Amino acid sequence: MLDVQDLDLSGLTADSRQVKPGYLFAALAGRVRDGRIYIEEAIARGARVILATHGTKISAQGVLLLEESNPRKKFAQIASCFYKKQPKIIVSVTGTNGKTSVVSFVRQLWEHLGVLSGSLGTLGVRAPGVTFPGGLTTPDPAALHAILADLADRGIEHVALEASSHGLDQCRLDGVHLAAAAFTNLTRDHLDYHGTMTAYLGAKLRLFNDLLPKGAPVVLNADDPAFPIFRKAAAARDARVLSYGLRGEDLRLVTGVSTESGQMLELCVQEKLFKIHFPLRGSFQVMNALCALGLVVAMGWPVDAATAALTTLKVIPGRLQCAATRFHGAPIYVDYAHTPAALETVLTALRPKSKGKLLVVFGCGGNRDRGKRTQMGVIAARLADAIIITDDKPRREKSEDIRAEICIGCPKAYNIANRYIAIQFAISLLQQDDILLVAGMGHEQENIVIDGKVQLCDDVAMCQHAVALADTSADHLGEGA
């Protein structure tokens, strides 16, 4: 087997524009373009090694061609060897929803327990002295291993990272030395990429079937219908299973009561009962916290101290985040919910908290799974009292067509293309005791419009600005009355 050190590389990339002298260029096949069409450009920029699928031909002298049946997997393995260092403890989380919350909670719990730790995923990299936004939930192998090596150099030995279905399918996490893994849930998402739920499930299972070492512990959601499938995969790897949820054997929610500042919980953690105040809203966040607690306990931290640390967890940007409150007390929440299950979960969580009406603003992304659009409209019609459909990254599709497909499921919804105007309108409807949810964008701060130009779009900032304008107008009306 070829030793990566023998290649004497100065760097590696799958983007021909980033190639520098002495680099390895991975000519990977994409959904739109075959990376092999950029081989000549990469060689002209100084690539020393080309990694590509079998049957690739190059004519340049002095350039090594590595042919692999699975060049994506090989690229990840080479990246792992090239960067060498990784934090000692790396745990990974997969699932349709909750990944970002879980990895953030794991990092927060470790920090409270006195451990230098980091998280990596949709929100980017978060660690002591390191904070920068992310692009992909799971970065490409070269970027991922560079980040892990940098964190290790900084003395950060514990990291929680998200494993997206795209990342797993494209072997981006291959070469990462995992200590434990978790599964949150499986609902419809990314079928534009995977095609079927079976293929989507298969991508998630790669984390347990292919990447997790034998005997490593796993944390699984006992309430999810896919739980038996993941438990079987864990058993095949001789893994110790910690199950969580209402039916969890190891981490179970016994009771939960909402309070003004969060929830009072009774938990059963490894046969010990705990009563704690959980500072976040939504039963789904309790489940995410239990998943995170399972990973921390699985890595050897004492149950009592780890469970007590749940009381210190802080809200995550764009995850049921209270962005603003109107002068009469009506709150506006921002959430990343962009799948049918996620939208249903968040609306269900907010419904009991509203003494008045529950309003929702949302849209669906273009050039993605079209089947979920009408489904989300149906869910909104069932759970919300007023619905405002708007744009959410239409990409190369006509935004009016996307909104029309959503409105099939909620024909009485307001249809307002401009997202800020939609938020303004929804806020103008808010009465005392009402609640508004702005869903879909969450933490994101850009909106890709149809002509390909990028328009800055921050739901939290827009909500705050719209509330300030609305309340200022209300003050003036009051003064003139």
Q: How confident is the model at residue 479 (pLDDT cuts 50, 70, 90)?
A: very low
pLDDT for 200 beyond 70: yes
In a domain, 407, yes or no: yes
Residues 430, 367 within the same domain: yes
Residues 282, 306 within the same domain: yes
Last residue of one domain, picked from the residues 291, 312, 333: 312
pLDDT for 477 beyond 50: no
Residues 244, 339 within the same domain: no
Last residue of one domain, picked from the residues 20, 44, 69: 69
Residues 182, 254 within the same domain: yes
Residues 343, 240 within the same domain: no
Give the pLDDT of residue 317: 85
pLDDT for 379 beyond 90: yes
Residues 452, 305 within the same domain: no
Number of domains in the chain: 3
Region 98-124: mean pLDDT is: 95
Give the pLDDT of residue 472: 83
In a domain, 78, yes or no: no
Please give the residue range of the domain that contains residue 247.
85-312
Listing from the earlier edge strand, what are the strands of the sheet with 331-335? 321-325, 331-335, 435-439, 358-362, 386-389, 414-415
In a domain, 381, yes or no: yes
Residues 28, 102 within the same domain: no
For residue range 389-431, list pLDDT tens digits in order.
999 888 888 999 999 999 999 999 999 999 999 999 999 999 9
Q: How confident is the model at residue 325 (pLDDT cuts 50, 70, 90)?
A: very high
Distance of CA 14 to the CA centre of its chain: 23
Region 384-393: mean pLDDT is: 94
Region 202-219: mean pLDDT is: 96
Residues 304, 342 within the same domain: no
The answer to whether the beta carbons of residues 23 and 12 sit under 8 Å apart is yes
Q: Between residues 475 and 330, which one has the greater pLDDT?
A: 330
Q: How far apart are CA 455 and CA 342, in angstroms?
A: 25
In a domain, 234, yes or no: yes
Residue given tokens 């506006």 in the structure block: 332
Length in residues, the chain: 481
For residue range 131-180, list pLDDT tens digits in order.
877 666 788 899 999 999 999 999 999 999 999 999 999 999 999 999 99
Residues 153, 227 within the same domain: yes
Task: Find, among 267, 214, 220, the residue nearest to 241 by Cα.
Answer: 220
pLDDT for 124 beyond 80: yes
Residues 201, 349 within the same domain: no
The answer to whether the beta carbons of residues 345 and 287 sit under 8 Å apart is no
pLDDT for 282 beyond 90: no
In a domain, 373, yes or no: yes
Give the pLDDT of residue 244: 98
Pick the range with the lowest mean pLDDT from 116-130, 200-214, 465-479.
Answer: 465-479
pLDDT for 1 beyond 60: no
Type of residue numbered 69: S
In a domain, 75, yes or no: no
Q: Between residues 455 and 205, which one has the greater pLDDT?
A: 205
CATH number at residue 278: 3.40.1190.10
In a domain, 348, yes or no: yes
Residues 27, 156 within the same domain: no
Residues 61, 90 within the same domain: no
The answer to whether the beta carbons of residues 190 and 213 sit under 8 Å apart is no
CATH number at residue 61: 3.40.1390.10
Q: What are the angstrom distances between the C-alpha of 13 and each of 83, 148, 290, 309? A: 13, 16, 37, 40
Region 7-17: mean pLDDT is: 93
Give the pLDDT of residue 319: 85
State how beta strands 11-13 and 49-53 pair: unpaired
Last residue of one domain, picked from the residues 287, 312, 337: 312
In a domain, 383, yes or no: yes
Give the pLDDT of residue 188: 77
Q: Between residues 138 and 361, which one has the greater pLDDT?
A: 361
Give the pLDDT of residue 99: 94
